[in-house]
Amino acid sequence: MKIVYFFRKAAPPFFSIEVLFHTIISNLKHAVAEKVILPYKSATSPAALLKNIMYASKRQGQVNHITGDVYYIALALDNKKTVLTIHDIDSLGSKNRVKNFLLHLLWLKLPVRRVKYVTVISEYSKRKVLAATGIAANKVVVIPNCVQLTDRDYKPKVQLNKQEPVLLQVGTKSNKNLPHVVEAIKDLSCRLLILGKLSPIQMELLEEKGIVYENFYSLKYEEVVALYYRADIVTFVSTYEGFGMPILEANALGRPVITSTTTAMPEVAGEGAVLVDPFKPEQIRQAVVDLVADDTYRNDLVSKGYQNVQRFKPEMIAAKYEALYKRVLEENL
pTM, to two decimals: 0.91
Q: Is residue 12's pLDDT more than 70?
A: no
pLDDT of residue 14: 60
pLDDT of residue 43: 64
Q: Which of the 8 DSSP states describes residue 326?
A: H
Q: Is residue 199's pLDDT more than 80?
A: yes
- Each residue of 134-159: pLDDT tens digit? 999 999 999 999 998 999 999 999 88
Burial 211-227 (b: 16+ CB within 10 A, else e): bebebbeeeeeeeebeb
Q: Is residue 13's pLDDT more than 90?
A: no
Q: Mean pLDDT over all residues of the chain?
A: 94
Q: Is residue 92's pLDDT more than 80?
A: no
pLDDT of residue 272: 98
Q: Is residue 78's pLDDT more than 90?
A: yes
- Each residue of 236-277: pLDDT tens digit? 999 999 999 999 999 999 999 999 999 999 999 999 999 999
Q: Is residue 94's pLDDT more than 70?
A: no
| Sheet order of strands, 2-7 included | 32-37, 2-7, 63-66, 82-86, 117-120, 140-142
Mean of the pLDDT values across residues 108-126? 96
Max CA separation in the chain (angstroms): 66
Instruction: Tell me the fold of 2-146+313-331.
Output: Rossmann fold (3.40.50)
pLDDT of residue 104: 79
- Each residue of 28-53: pLDDT tens digit? 999 999 999 999 987 668 899 999 99
pLDDT of residue 4: 98
Residue pair 249/221 in contact by the 8 Å Cβ criterion: no
- Each residue of 269-299: pLDDT tens digit? 999 999 999 999 999 999 999 999 999 999 9
pLDDT of residue 89: 82
Cα–Cα distance measured from residue 88 to residue 210, given in angstroms and rounded to the nearest whole number: 35
pLDDT of residue 91: 64
C-alpha dihedral, 262 to 127 to 144 to 7, nearest 10°:
-120
What percentage of the chain has pLDDT greater than the value 90?
86
Q: Exposure of 275 by Cβ count < 10 A (0-12 exposed, 13-18 middle, 19+ buried)? A: middle
Q: Which of 138-142, 174-178, 329-333 has the lowest mean pLDDT?
A: 329-333
CATH 3.40.50.2000-classified regions of the chain: 2-146+313-331, 151-311
Q: Is residue 58's pLDDT more than 80?
A: yes
Q: Is residue 177's pLDDT more than 80?
A: yes
Q: Which CATH superfamily is domain 151-311 in?
A: Glycogen Phosphorylase B; (3.40.50.2000)
